[in-house]
């Protein structure tokens, strides 16, 4: 979980650029999947990591309020990591589902 925490810290760094945030975001997700011990899911994540990174860059570049979007993503990632670290798999799964839906399905507020 150390790699996920380092990635989260990078995403939360004041003034982080979009590209650095994007790289850290992908590292965060890959680290969580790796920590799950699910080798099949890890292979899927490795195969999808470029597509996920590209989608995130497009999403971030389109945000009218980038700071709010970055802050929301950091908060969601922090909650997921906390649930995993506290061994609350049901909560972690629910948070991941919310995070994914919120990211891939447009929100009324514009994303």
Q: What is the mean pLDDT of the chain?
A: 88
Decide if 13 contacts 75 (C-beta within 8 A). no
**pLDDT at residue 108, as a whole number:** 43
pTM over 0.85: no
Tell me phi and psi for residue 107, to 5 degrees: -95, 160
pLDDT digits (tens, 9 = 90+) for 34-77: 888 888 988 888 888 888 788 889 888 998 999 999 999 999 99
Phi-psi region of 17 (alpha: psi -120 to 50; beta: other; left: phi over 0): beta
**pLDDT at residue 105, as a whole number:** 64
- Is residue 83 scored above 80 in pLDDT? yes
- Is residue 87 scored above 90 in pLDDT? yes
Rg (C-alpha) for the chain, rounded Å, is 13
């Amino acid at each position: 979980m150390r790699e996920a925490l380092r990635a989260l810290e990078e995403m939360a760094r004041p003034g982080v650029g979009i590209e650095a945030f994007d790289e850290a975001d992908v590292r965060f997700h890959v680290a969580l999947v790796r920590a799950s011990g699910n080798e099949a899911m890890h292979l899927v994540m490795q195969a999808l990591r470029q597509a996920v990174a590209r989608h995130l860059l497009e999403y971030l570049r389109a945000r009218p309020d980038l700071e709010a979007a970055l802050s929301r993503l950091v908060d969601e990632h922090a909650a997921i990591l906390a649930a995993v670290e506290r061994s609350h798999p049901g909560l972690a799964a629910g948070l991941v589902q919310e995070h994914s839906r919120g990211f891939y399905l447009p929100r009324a507020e514009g994303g």
